[in-house]
């Protein structure tokens, strides 16, 4: 299937890792992407009545469909209707939360090019309305997962425009962010970091 942006350029999905966890608690999670892990955690939070958080649907316009069989339609070409914002949003403890998840193969830093301008601007707008915004970042090399406040991300994003770094050093993420340890339920208890934002 071919998916195109509104400007006509073809969309190429960024490859994700199929690495394994060094997780002695639950080896059944091997091969999951960070998005899979967050989805699984969100299902737990929903079932337990803790939070209502969902992945946002990607708005696409289908323009060409192949019908090889009546029961099996195949999309051949589609366009993004508009630029998407962040990956997830929802409600937790009466607060609106909005966040994006990213993985990197880099070991010492997180490249800012993994974000788009419209995503950062969306976070900035949510913060202006008192929303809780953050990024969940996974370093594939050692499966370390951090929650980084949007304010910290925005600081580096803005600085790069005036000659600053094009990445956030991992040491900064370790210092300013929150390390999330894998568990059984939820798999990634990232709302513990959100608790610290609220308190």
* Per-residue model confidence (pLDDT) at position 73: 72
- Residue 13 within any structural domain of the chain: no
User: Which alpha helices (H) appear in 68-149, and where do they start and end?
Assistant: 117-128
Packing angle, helices 117-128 and 150-160, rounded to 10: 130
- Residue 169 within any structural domain of the chain: yes
Q: Read off the pTM.
A: 0.74
Model confidence over 51-109: pLDDT tens digits?
A: 999 997 665 556 667 777 767 777 666 554 545 678 899 999 999 999 999 999 999 99
Domains of the chain: total: 1
- Give the structural domain span for 94: 30-57+83-198
* Per-residue model confidence (pLDDT) at position 2: 57
- Residue 4 within any structural domain of the chain: no
Model confidence over 131-168: pLDDT tens digits?
A: 999 999 999 999 999 999 999 999 999 999 899 999 99
- Residue 38 within any structural domain of the chain: yes
- Residue 103 within any structural domain of the chain: yes
- Residue 65 within any structural domain of the chain: no
- Residue 151 within any structural domain of the chain: yes
- Residue 138 within any structural domain of the chain: yes
* Per-residue model confidence (pLDDT) at position 86: 86
Per-residue pLDDT, averaged over 184-197, amounts to 95
Rounded CA separation 2/161 (Å): 33
**Can you give the CATH number for the domain in which 174 is found?**
3.40.1350.10
Q: Are 143 and 30 in contact (CB under 8 A)?
A: no
Model confidence over 5-64: pLDDT tens digits?
A: 555 555 555 443 333 333 333 333 445 799 999 999 999 999 999 999 999 766 555 666
């Amino acid at each position: 299937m071919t998916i195109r942006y509104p400007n006509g350029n073809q969309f190429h999905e960024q490859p994700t890792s199929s690495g394994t966890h060094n997780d002695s608690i639950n080896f059944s999670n091997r091969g999951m992407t960070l998005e899979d892990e967050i989805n699984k955690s969100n299902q737990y939070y929903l079932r337990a009545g803790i939070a209502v958080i969902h992945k946002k649907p990607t708005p696409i316009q289908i323009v060409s469909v192949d019908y090889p069989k009546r029961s099996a339609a195949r999309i051949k070409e589609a366009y993004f209707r508009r630029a998407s914002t962040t990956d997830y949003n929802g409600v937790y403890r009466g607060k609106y939360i909005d966040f994006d998840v990213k993985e990197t193969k880099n070991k010492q830093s997180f490249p800012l090019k993994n974000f788009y301008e419209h995503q950062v601007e969306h976070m900035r707008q949510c913060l202006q309305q008192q929303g809780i915004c953050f990024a969940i970042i996974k370093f594939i090399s050692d499966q370390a997962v951090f929650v980084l406040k949007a304010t910290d991300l925005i600081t580096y994003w803005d600085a790069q425009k005036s000659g600053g770094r094009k990445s956030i050093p991992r040491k900064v993420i370790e210092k300013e962010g929150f390390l999330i340890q894998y568990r059984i339920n939820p798999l990634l208890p990232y709302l513990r970091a959100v608790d610290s934002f609220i308190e």
